[in-house]
Amino acid sequence: MKTRFSPSLLTWLRCFEAVARCGSFTRAAQELHITQGAVSQQIKQLEGWLDVALLKRLPRDIALTSDGERLRQVVSDAFHGMDAVIDEIRHRRVVAPMEMICAPSFAMRWLMPRMGEFFRCHPDIPLRIQAEVQSLDYTAPSGKNVDAIISFVPEQAAPGTSAKVLDEWIFPVASPDFLAMHPEIQRPQDLRPGILLHDDAAWQGAPAHVEWRTWLGHAGVALPDLHQGQRFNLSQLAVGAAMAGQGIAIGRAAVVFEDVLAGRLVDVFGLFAPSPASYFFATHHQASAPIAALLEWILSEANAFRQRRDQHFAQAAAANARCASPQLRMMGSGL
């Protein structure tokens, strides 16, 4: 017949194990935070239930009977095992989150809106993202842990160990209200330096006005005095100024795609230029399952975005070809 471990039996056994280990009713009572009389009573109840003597009560000490010694070994092992498992469960070490540095505008406008899906797919991978402009060979200072970096850099500046996440395309964007107030802007040749908004640090070491110069060169337009336009230190700030009606910014597709689709920004000319820089992922740590899962997820999301982006590019190009006038082309273009 199997023994049913009732709450009373478990209490008796816990008292017995403490007495056997401590060799004293007094020390066992102190450990269990009960009175010596309560300990003695629990032992008597256990002996009565077993109908055997477990302890020899000596004048100044106690000793285990042969049955008591057999029970001590089993009970001691059982309680030690339970204590170890319970302690492990309750005090399981919290895994430190992975730390990833990410190009700020890309982090805010492309990565963060998608992170909910990452955490749904990988609830066991804690991840903290820091928006900073850093090179892919960035070395964290002492006391700061960095597991991965996503940087916006030209391909020739990316280490061979890095992974290209997403290429980038650039084009002028403005608010609908700004364009309504400037109907004279119908072609790239109509742009004036004073209304252009610049990211003054497109990437580390980037030449001044590099994104506007790249797009203007693609459009075949020579525009002097680019320094007259407003300058910002983040693409998202320049785009935010454009959204507020302060001028025309160069939009990176990954940063402005959703805003153009929603009508908050307008793709001014429907003319897209490949950016000199792309987004690259790098890690200085040895390959690990969490880092591999993060990179795989980012590449999957980037591939899905690229397909949507390129489809809209093709649709915009087809729509522009059908437009009869530059003004219709300007107002009718979406990504």
Q: For the domain that residue 75 is a member of, what is the CATH number?
A: 1.10.10.10
Q: What is this structure's pTM?
A: 0.68
**Per-residue pLDDT band at 116 (split at 50, 70, 90):** very high
pLDDT in tens, 211-270: 999 999 999 999 999 889 899 999 999 999 999 999 999 999 999 999 999 999 999 998
Tell me if 172 is assigned to some domain: yes
DSSP letters for 252-296: EHHHHHHHHHHTSSEESS---EE-SEEEEEE--SPP-HHHHHHHH
pLDDT score at 169: 97
pLDDT in tens, 27-64: 989 998 999 899 899 999 989 999 999 998 887 788 89
* CA distance linking residue 53 with residue 65, whole number of Å: 7
Q: Residue 263 contacts by C-beta under 8 Å, 6 or more apart in sequence?
A: 176
- 114 plus 236 within the same structural domain: yes
CB atoms within 10 A of CB 79: 16
pLDDT score at 334: 43
The number of distinct structural domains making up the chain is: 2
* CA distance linking residue 235 with residue 202, whole number of Å: 7
- 197 plus 310 within the same structural domain: yes
Q: What is the CATH number of the domain that holds 171?
A: 3.40.190.290
Pairing verdict, β 163-166 and 169-174: unpaired
pLDDT in tens, 158-214: 888 899 999 999 999 999 999 999 999 999 999 999 999 999 889 888 999 999 999
- 126 plus 147 within the same structural domain: yes
